[in-house]
Amino acid sequence: SPTPLRRDSKAKQPVSLKALMARKYKKKLLLIFYLTGLFFMTHTDLTSGFSHVNFIAQQFYLSDKAFHFFGYMGLMFLVLLTATQPLEKTDPNLRAKTARRVVTWSTVVILYAIADELTQPMFGRSCDMIDFIADAMGISIGQVIFAAGEAFGLRRSIKRLR
């Protein structure tokens, strides 16, 4: 049996190193898969010809701008969820640390969006400023959703359900 590293606050059960590593890397793995999918979606022309994306776009009258918006909204939310800790009342400096991390990671995601648009011509797509604006709007809404979730304590509520 692995030696306990710490006790789980709710159940007062010992948590093994293996369990801690699984919790830590689950979000990072999800973020890597999401980022890979986003890269694929933004660098291939999925709206031409018959594809599932084209079918969805036609059914709901969506342009590729909507895919950019929702893709970057999800990316920003996942990045912030992975890069920050839940706000606890016990650490007075955590709110300032979280704010710095939000600004830092938002800048990283904006730079990725710029790089994404600049590299699209290498894959047969056009570099479109309107796509970047959709990316930036999605990033902003992703921040708002994350902040609202933190304000209402949704991350702690989700942990209690496990």
Q: What percent of the chain shows pLDDT beyond 90?
A: 22
Q: What is the pLDDT of residue 72?
A: 94
DSSP-assigned letter for residue 88? -
| pLDDT tens per residue across span 113-162 | 999 989 988 888 788 898 899 999 999 999 999 888 877 776 665 555 44
| pLDDT tens per residue across span 6-30 | 444 555 555 555 565 566 677 788 8
Q: Is the pLDDT of residue 101 over 80?
A: yes
How far is residue 22's CA from residue 133's CA, in Å, rounded to a whole number? 36
The answer to whether 108 and 40 have CB atoms below 8 angstroms apart is no
Q: What is the pLDDT of residue 20?
A: 53
The answer to whether 117 and 65 have CB atoms below 8 angstroms apart is no
Q: What mean pLDDT do residues 62-75 have?
A: 84
Rounded alpha-carbon distances, angstroms, from residue 35 to 74, 91, 126 = 10, 32, 20
**Dihedrals phi, psi of 2, to nearest 5 degrees:** -65, 150
The answer to whether 139 and 73 have CB atoms below 8 angstroms apart is yes
DSSP-assigned letter for residue 13? -
Q: What is the pLDDT of residue 17?
A: 55
How far is residue 112's CA from residue 39's CA, in Å, rounded to a whole number? 10
More confident residue, 76 or 23: 76
> Residues 6 or more apart from 67 whose CB is under 8 A from it?
41, 42, 46, 53, 57
Confidence of residue 112 (pLDDT cuts 50, 70, 90): very high
| pLDDT tens per residue across span 36-53 | 888 887 777 655 554 555
